[in-house]
Amino acid sequence: MGSQQGYAPVQPVAFSHALHAGEHKLDCRYCHFGAEKSRHAGVPPLEVCMNCHSQVKKDSPEVQKLASAFEAEQPIEWVKVHRLPDHAFFSHASHLSAQVKCQSCHGSVETMVRIEQVEPMTMGWCLECHRSMGKPPPEAPASAPPTDCSACHR
């Protein structure tokens, strides 16, 4: 698996992060609520989408796709954009607790109409970030990010 930098697949529902996270200023954690407690941020279940879209833009063809899937109790088959190799361990929870912003890895998602992998997400790229952190800010946990192999290869 090489870098997927620039990968921006067409999704089954045209979802705009620029609209939701940008214009409407929804916090990433509203939809990706697993990020604070889990390795994976997760794709939101349709119930989260329908919290708003049962009332908002109900006539939109894209929202109708969501509503139809919701009524049929069928999940949307989203295409995964950000992927790491199986041998690499990554935890969204530990990065968020260390005050790392989503944009540090995912780019300016709030400006993306179609989500794209902006960073290479290679071992060297991750290590450079960990090394550049040096001494963390006062509001972050007391230790610097690990750079030993066992931190990511378990």
Could you tell me if 65 and 71 are in contact, meaning their C-beta atoms sit under 8 angstroms apart?
no
Above 70 in pLDDT, residue 153?
yes
What confidence tier does 35 reach under pLDDT thresholds 50, 70, 90?
Answer: very high
pLDDT in tens, 39-65: 999 999 999 999 999 999 999 999 999
Domain ranges, ordered by start, for the chain: 17-43+78-141
Above 60 in pLDDT, residue 119?
yes
Above 80 in pLDDT, residue 135?
no
What confidence tier does 3 reach under pLDDT thresholds 50, 70, 90?
Answer: confident
The pTM (predicted TM-score) of the whole model is 0.87
- Sign of the Cα torsion 142, 145, 149, 150 reads positive
Neighbours of 149 (CB within 10 A): 9
